[in-house]
Amino acid sequence: MFLRTTLVVVGLVGLLPAATFADTRVQVCIGDKPQKCPHHQYFARCGTAVAVVAKDACGFSNANQRLQIGKQSTIGGGKCGYTWFVVLCGEN
């Protein structure tokens, strides 16, 4: 009975899209100094395009990956202010 149950579960997992299991959430901040960015896992300096930062933060290396960028907030300060985003990284 245990073997049969295990095979059913594996079969169901195979039917679900891979992205369901591969999505990763990364908090990204773009600004002047990393110490001034609240709650970030990945930092980039002023002037860096958010799409470039998101791809770097996700570690993308091929076209079979996708990302979704959600802007959280912006505050003034430093040379360019500070903007932070939540980036969802996943596989297609």
Whether 6 maps to a domain, the answer reads no
Residue 44 structural domain: 18-91
Model confidence pLDDT, tens digit, residues 30-44: 999 999 887 789 999
| Residues with Cβ within 8 Å of residue 91, at least 6 apart in sequence | 18, 19, 22, 64, 65, 66
Model confidence pLDDT, tens digit, residues 15-27: 334 444 358 899 9
Determine the length of the chain.
92
Whether 9 maps to a domain, the answer reads no
When divided into structural domains, the chain yields a total of 1
Whether 26 maps to a domain, the answer reads yes
| Residues with Cβ within 8 Å of residue 71, at least 6 apart in sequence | 83, 84, 85
Whether 35 maps to a domain, the answer reads yes
The closest alpha carbon to 69, from 60, 58, 61, 59, belongs to 58
Model confidence pLDDT, tens digit, residues 53-74: 998 888 877 667 788 999 999 9
As a whole number of angstroms, the longest Cα–Cα distance in the chain is 65
Whether 12 maps to a domain, the answer reads no
Whether 86 maps to a domain, the answer reads yes
